[in-house]
Every structure is written in C-alpha cells, then in structure tokens.
Amino acid sequence: MNKAQLVEAIADKLGGRQQAADAVDAVLDAIVRATVAGDRVSVTGFGSFEKVDRPARYARNPQTGERVRVKKTSVPRFRAGQGFKDLVSGTKKLPKGGEVSVKKAPKGSLTGGASATVKKAAAKKATTAKKAAAKTTVAKKVVAKKATATAKKAAVKSTATAKKATAAAKKTTAAAAKKTTPAAKKTTAAAKKTAPAAKKVTAATKAPAKKTATRKATAKKTTARKK
C-alpha cells in the first residue's frame, strides 16, 4: 500500500479523498518534524518513532569487500508497539470489520511525551547546576572576605609591633644619652680644672726664661766694661 492507496482506504471514514489526504499529510509531517527535532513520537498500541545517533565506524562494501569508514550519522527508527506485534504475530486476531482495536493513547503521548519528561529532567539539572554555581560563588566570596580580614589584622598587628619596636628603640637611645651626659659633664669639669694648672705651668716656664735673658744681658755689659 502506498500513500495514495492509504488515502483511498480512509477517505470514506474522513468524508472525502481531500480530507483524508490532508489528514495523512498532517500526521506524517508531525511525525517527521518531531523525530528530526529529537523527540520520540509514541502511539500507544501502534509503535514509536525516534532519532538514533550512530557513531563513526568501519564497514565493508558488499560488492568489493573493501573496508570503508562510515561517518557519524543519525537515522530514524520505528519500534512497533505490543498490540501491533501481537496482531502481526497472530497472537491476537485481526477483526474482520471495523477498526483495529488499539489502546487509547494517553494525553501528550502522540508527540513528544517522553521527550517532555527528558526536557523537564534537563531543566531540573540546569536549575540544580545554577544553584550549585551560585553557592560556590557565595562560598568563594566569603573565603575572599575572610582572607582580606585576616590580611588586614596581620597588617595592623605588624604595624603595632613596628611602633612598639620604634618606641623601645627611642627609650633605649634616650637612656643611653642620659647615661653618657653625666660622664661628658664630668670630663668637661675635669678639663676646666686642669686648664688653670696648665696656665700656671706655662707662666712658670716663661718667668725663668725671662730671668735667664736678663742675666745674659748683665753679663754682656760687665764684659764690655772690663775691656
């Protein structure tokens, strides 16, 4: 049976050949579009259509036997439902007149019933990932704040330690200066005391020299008179 024969077979039930053709086209178009988009089209009791990805592989040319590399591709797959299988295998008898009885399809199962569940699961995973990322970001910010606060405390402590060391150094310098000042004063007083004695020694040295010069002059005069 081809498409035209299928349209003829259902034309009487749909009120005309045109209505039947439109119905067949609409059903096939919906199945093809959903399958291409990656959705699973399931008709309860009849079967399901889905897109299957095939990885790259090696195959053999049936005519030459040559090994050929086949690229990665996607193919449509149809899986017959249990009711359809039972009718084909003969487990269930096909009714002579009327429509083939198949289970009534639940709401949403005709186009993307399973894919909707997959999409919801993917959305939940994405939301969970976003929440986890947000928590990680908050944790990183908290850690950064703690590190900054610790660094600030360490800087304050080091500054305080440096100030204490500077103050201690100033105290030590002042104490050393205070200790050396009395010694310097004592040395200055001793120098002042020795200064008058040095002046007296200098004066005493000069006085004999003057007397000796006077004696020499008197001796010269006496010598001159004797002559």
Note the pLDDT tens digit of each residue in 57-77.
Answer: 999 999 999 999 999 999 999
Q: What share of the chain has pLDDT > 90, as a percent? A: 35
Alpha-carbon distance of 177 to 198, in angstroms, equals 31
- Flag the least confident range among 130-139, 146-155, 180-189: 180-189
Architecture of domain 3-52+74-128: Irregular (4.10)
Res 196: pLDDT: 66
At residue 115 the predicted structure's pLDDT band, cuts being 50, 70 and 90, is very low
Are 23 and 14 in contact by the 8 Å Cβ rule? The answer is yes
Domain range annotation of the chain: 3-52+74-128
| Mean pLDDT to the nearest integer, 128-133 | 68
What pLDDT score does 197 carry?
62
* Residue 23 exposed, middle or buried by CB count within 10 Å (0-12, 13-18, 19+): middle
- Tell me the pLDDT tens digit for each residue of 182-208: 655 666 666 667 666 656 655 655 555
Among the listed residues 92, 11, 78, 3, the one whose alpha carbon sits nearest the alpha carbon of residue 43 = 78
The label of the residue with tokens 């500077």 reads: 166
Among 97-101, 137-141, 164-168, where is mean pLDDT lowest? 97-101
> pTM here?
0.43
Q: Which residues pair with 58 in a beta bridge?
A: 69
Q: What would the 3-class secondary structure string for 164-200 be?
A: HHHHHHHHHHHHHHHHHHHHHHHHHHHHHHHHHHHHH
Residue 210 predicted with pLDDT over 80: no
- When pLDDT is averaged across residues 93-119 and rounded to a whole number, the result is 57
The per-residue pLDDT of the chain, averaged, comes to 76
Give yes or no for residue 80 having a pLDDT over 60.
Answer: yes
| Whether residue 110 has pLDDT greater than 50 | no
Which carries the bigger pLDDT value, residue 85 or residue 123?
85
Q: Which residue has the higher pLDDT, 145 or 29?
A: 29
Q: What's residue 118's pLDDT? A: 47
